[in-house]
Amino acid sequence: MSLMSFLMRRAFLKSDNKRDAGLTSPPDIERFNDIRYAPNKEATLEIYYPKGTTGKLPVIVSIHGGGYVYGSTKTYQFYGMNLAQRGFVFVNFNYRLAPRHKFPAPIEDTNHVMEWLIANADAYHVDLNNVFMVGDSAGGQLLSQYAAMVTNRSYADIMEIHPPKGFTLRAIGLNCGMYNIFDVFQGNTRSIMFDYFGRNYLEHGEKINVLQYINACYPPTFLLSAPGDFLQKFQQPMCDLIKQRGGRAEYHCYGDENTGHVFMCDLRNAYATKANDEECAFFRRWMAKEGRS
């Protein structure tokens, strides 16, 4: 592990513990922990939905951030339950982390989650006709890549990972993410990217040329960031690219220079409440009519 990745893990853990100190599971949420979705030991997930749910609900599948080397269901549990309170099933999963596991392990795990979700939808009130996904930071990059695989068979063939049939990806939320893989091999992120992609990252060829495979079928996309987010510069170009390719996208910037990276996970932040409300409202606008609650 690079020194940068080690320091990132330590700093992010301290920050997340401070952010979530004192929070508890809300009484109006049903939660299911430590569900295994694939054979590897890291492959566990949690599910949250409103107590008293009897019918099917739209589902949000979350790919957590953490620079490919950090993050877990623990650090996203309160964010996930907060979104579930808005009338969704929320899927919060662990994936294999770098540097022990290299590209494309997290994408393979994401695909296993979707396979599991299709097989177990009825047990957890999941409406497979109204599947949404969110990803933040590195999770935003992973989601942008997975969405390209879902909507472009040519790219799925290149990745040799084929999303399962049986669900419709209605829309996605890219939160404080990074999208052009080549850009992030610059500066102080270089060592982190080596931890995930390996030093000979160009050997992956077209697999990392993700943006070239965004087409008009790309899911409607809600991008959010903040003036204090160090990845803010990537948001408008990604929004513009999706629209140039014939897709639908909108970018929202919240707060001020003191509103930082992945602020939407801080439930005590008023800007997070507004951002999460508007992202969920965006998802509801793209729900299939027959699935509306």
Query: 122 and 25 in contact (C-beta within 8 Å)?
Result: no
Q: Say if CB 126 and CB 57 are below 8 A apart.
A: yes
- pLDDT on residue 292: 41
Buried b (16+ CB within 10 A) or exposed e, 32-52: eeebebbebebbbbbbbbbee
The bridge status of strand 29-36 relative to strand 44-50 is: antiparallel
116-157 confidence digits (pLDDT tens): 999 999 999 999 999 999 999 999 999 999 999 999 999 999
Which is nearest to 93 in space by CA: 79, 113, 67? 113
| Ordered domains of the chain (ranges, CATH) | 3-291 (3.40.50.1820)
Residue 187: per-residue pLDDT: 60
Q: How far apart are the first and last CA of the chain?
A: 47
Q: pLDDT, tens digit, for every residue of 6-27?
A: 888 999 999 999 999 999 999 9
Cβ neighbour number for residue 204 with a 10 Å cutoff? 17
Residues of the chain with pLDDT under 70: 184-189, 290-293
